[in-house]
């Protein structure tokens, strides 16, 4: 490695937003997201805010772009670096995307690209050297075209998962959170300088005039303080897993930012592309659906699509559907209201499904997993048109797919039930836990048991069917559970093959933890994504790009993976990053779990 290779280590991430450690892994010299400034601004800008300077020379055609490190970030970390220089080439407006000038600019560790180059330069797919910084030269023009910036950034992030991204001329404290969420790592002060020239402040809610009655002044010191505060807020949000909520707050200051977020969300929900989503999340992680933007978050859309298209109710629970309201407490079954519902329903083969927003419908058998067990939503008692349409559409698909004969509606919502399916409204505008409603629910369940010959079920049979549902959601299929049984004590139920333990339920993860004995079953049933390690290396712990030969494309962060080498099963690991970040994300790709 030479002096133009910087050390990169992922310290924390949330979807496409990441905190990179720049420099020595043990003691990074700087972190992203961060600033890079023109050389003339270097003396007034601390290196912990701006570890890079840049210079663009357009005196000749084609021009050149240089980026220099102000701290020891380049291997072997014994001097300030890097020192990159590249030819920029001709940059035509995005509207002229059909044109191909032939002068596309240089490539290497520093890669300048434009929308035109992305559409014409096939060499970008087979570069001899992976770039460490990608500069989207026409970001400013793309930001003014509907959906173009989101598409360009997502394309870059998929192709160059480890590279730092810089979008010249568009960053500010107001859109720092959004751009970081979309994958941008480096930010300049162009908009800040423009505001200073107009005697305006660029704040985290956009440009405004200073309030002189409070002695506000417009100068570089004030602006750097604003940048520092917002950089700290964004980095902390990534570490805490709350970046999405911060983005939804910040975009409200600009209709254009709302558009960018919507286009970005739409790209991430396209089926069959490498996923950016999660399967299992850390203990304490919440999905705070506090704004309308949360309604179309890719995690939510993915859930809606799964329940509508791929969900299969537990065995024998396809005759009677009981619709119940959600609760503040998650999982719902631990709330006082649902404990009371349980007394009325009992262990039967009626299928309980909660009606909620923004998830729409949550089957009882999936309420303990992400995101159903982790979301918070304001409760007003009123439903928007979009919420009602989502719930009704999902309900129609659920009834169509599962073939229920009878519905007991205790949700309190006026829902249309397809013809041919009988329905009982057990609420009749009373409170869900009122004595009158409770008695009607109890009566409706008893009548359904008799009419549809619903069987009682032991809690262990019900748990096994629940684990099958969870496996169908978090894995590729549930075939590995064939012939197994559930035993043990709550909350850490265990799954056995005879007397051999195969798995254990971990409530803090909302997932089943596999033993070594489960791995051959999982491989035989093609139940999990697989990764293949290079032959000739000894797998000692976690999984890094340096030892990886290939990987499947349906990896989700937090999900289980099977580790193979030369066709032989070595063990399992848990993904630290979703498929979009494989194979080049610096640092750990997966954490070793079981080894045979």
- Is the C-alpha dihedral spanning 439, 442, 445, 446 positive or negative? negative
Q: Decide: pTM greater than 0.85.
A: yes
Output 377-382 pairs: Cβ under 8 A, ≥24 positions apart.
377/289, 377/290, 378/290, 379/328
**Best CA proximity match to 487, nearest among 501, 473, 469, 477:** 501
Strand residue runs (E) in 338-415: 351-356, 360-363, 375-376, 406-409
> What's the gap between Cα 586 and its chain centre?
18
Convert the pLDDT of each residue in 353-377 to its tens digit.
Answer: 999 999 999 999 999 999 999 999 8
Q: Tens-of-pLDDT digits for all 596 residues of the chain?
A: 345 899 999 999 999 999 999 999 999 999 999 999 999 999 999 999 999 999 998 877 778 999 999 999 999 999 999 999 998 877 777 666 666 665 567 778 999 998 888 887 777 777 777 899 999 999 999 999 999 999 999 999 989 999 999 999 999 999 999 999 999 999 999 999 999 999 999 999 999 999 999 999 999 999 999 999 999 999 999 999 999 999 999 999 999 999 999 999 999 988 766 678 999 998 788 888 888 888 999 999 999 999 999 999 999 999 999 999 999 999 999 999 999 999 999 889 999 999 999 999 999 999 999 999 999 988 777 788 999 999 999 999 999 999 999 999 999 999 999 999 999 999 998 999 999 999 999 999 999 999 999 988 899 999 999 999 999 999 999 999 999 999 999 999 999 999 999 999 999 999 999 999 999 999 999 999 999 999 999 998 899 999 999 999 999 999 999 999 999 999 999 999 999 999 988 889 999 999 99
What tokens were used for 478?
A: 């549930």
Number of Cβ within 10 Å of residue 218's Cβ equals 16
**pLDDT computed for residue 370 by the predictor:** 96
Distance CA 370, CA 281 (A): 7
**pLDDT computed for residue 11 by the predictor:** 94
Classify 587 as helix, strand or coil.
coil
**pLDDT computed for residue 1 by the predictor:** 38
Classify 8 as helix, strand or coil.
strand
What tokens were used for 250?
A: 């910040």
Question: How far, CA to CA in Å, does 366 sit from each of 303, 363, 465?
Answer: 11, 5, 11
- Helix-strand-coil split of the chain, %, nearest 5: 35, 25, 40
**pLDDT computed for residue 123 by the predictor:** 78
Domains of the chain: 8-268 (no CATH), 287-451 (3.40.50.10630), 458-522 (3.10.450), 528-596 (2.30.130.10)
**pLDDT computed for residue 548 by the predictor:** 96
**Per-residue b or e along 584-594, where b marks 16 or more CB atoms closer than 10 Å to that residue's CB:** ebbbbbbebbb
* Exposed / middle / buried, residue 428 (Cβ in 10 Å: 0-12, 13-18, 19+): exposed
Classify 458 as helix, strand or coil.
coil
| Helix axes 255-268 and 243-250, enclosed angle (nearest 10) | 140
**Cα-flanking dihedrals φ and ψ of residue 438, to 5°?**
-60, -45
Spatial neighbors of 296 by CB under 8 A, at least 6 apart, are 262, 265, 266, 269
Question: How far, CA to CA in Å, does 369 sit from each of 140, 355, 365, 372, 375?
Answer: 41, 16, 9, 6, 11
Distance CA 344, CA 341 (A): 5
């Amino acid at each position: 490695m030479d002096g133009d290779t910087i050390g990169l280590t992922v310290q924390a991430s949330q979807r496409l937003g990441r905190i990179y450690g720049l420099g020595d892994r043990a003691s990074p010299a700087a972190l992203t997201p961060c600033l890079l400034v023109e050389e003339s601004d270097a003396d007034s800008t601390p290196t912990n805010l701006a570890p890079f300077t840049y210079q663009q020379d357009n005196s000749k055609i084609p021009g050149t772009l240089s980026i220099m490190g102000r701290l020891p970030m380049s291997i072997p970390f014994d001097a300030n670096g890097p020192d990159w220089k590249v030819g920029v080439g001709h940059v035509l407006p995005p509207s002229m995307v059909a044109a191909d000038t032939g002068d596309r600019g240089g490539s290497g560790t520093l890669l300048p690209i434009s929308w035109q180059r992305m559409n014409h330069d096939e060499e970008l797919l087979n570069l001899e050297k992976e770039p460490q910084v990608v500069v989207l030269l026409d970001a400013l023009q793309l930001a003014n075209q509907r959906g173009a910036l989101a598409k360009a950034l997502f394309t870059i992030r998929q192709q160059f998962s480890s590279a730092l991204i810089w979008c010249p001329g568009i960053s500010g404290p107001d859109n720092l959170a959004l751009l970081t969420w979309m994958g941008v790592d480096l930010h300049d002060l162009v908009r800040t300088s423009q505001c200073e020239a107009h005697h305006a402040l660029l704040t985290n809610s956009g440009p405004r005039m200073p309030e002189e009655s409070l002695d506000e002044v417009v100068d570089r010191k004030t602006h750097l303080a604003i940048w520092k505060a917002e950089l700290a807020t964004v980095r902390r949000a990534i570490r805490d897993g709350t970046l999405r909520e911060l983005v939804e707050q910040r975009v409200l200051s600009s209709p254009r930012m709302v558009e960018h977020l919507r286009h970005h969300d739409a790209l991430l929900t396209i089926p069959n592309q490498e996923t950016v989503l999660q399967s299992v999340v850390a203990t304490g992680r919440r999905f705070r659906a506090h704004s309308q933007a949360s309604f179309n978050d890719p995690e939510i859309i993915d859930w809606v699509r799964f329940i509508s298209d791929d969900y299969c109710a537990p065995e024998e629970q396809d005759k009677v559907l009981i619709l119940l309201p959600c609760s503040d407490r998650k999982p719902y079954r631990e709330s006082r209201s649902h404990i009371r519902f349980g007394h009325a329903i009992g262990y039967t083969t009626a299928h309980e499904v909660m009606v909620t927003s923004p998830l729409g419908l949550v089957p009882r058998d999936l309420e303990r997993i992400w995101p159903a067990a982790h979301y918070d939503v304001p409760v007003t008692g009123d439903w928007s048109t979009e919420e009602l349409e989502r719930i009704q559409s999902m309900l129609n698909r659920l009834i169509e797919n599962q073939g229920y004969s009878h519905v007991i509606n205790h949700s309190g919502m006026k829902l249309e039930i397809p013809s041919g399916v009988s329905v009982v409204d057990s609420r009749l505008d009373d409170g869900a836990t009122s004595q009158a409603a409770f008695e009607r629910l109890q009566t409706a369940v008893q009548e359904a048991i008799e009419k549809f010959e619903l069987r009682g079920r032991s809690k262990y049979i019900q748990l096994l069917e629940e684990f099958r549902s969870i496996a169908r959601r978090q894995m590729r299929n549930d075939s590995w559970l064939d012939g197994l049984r559930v035993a043990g004590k709550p909350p850490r139920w265990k799954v056995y093959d005879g007397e051999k333990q195969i798995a254990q339920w971990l409530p803090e993860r909302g997932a089943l933890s596999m033993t070594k004995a489960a791995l051959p079953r999982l491989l035989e049933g093609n139940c999990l994504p697989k990764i293949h390690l290079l032959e000739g290396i000894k797998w000692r712990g976690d999984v890094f790009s340096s030892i990886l030969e290939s990987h499947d494309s349906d990896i989700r962060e937090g999900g289980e993976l099977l580790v193979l080498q030369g066709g032989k099963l070595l063990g399992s690991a848990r993904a630290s990053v979703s498929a979009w970040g494989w194979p080049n994300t610096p640092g750990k790709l997966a954490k070793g779990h079981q080894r045979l």
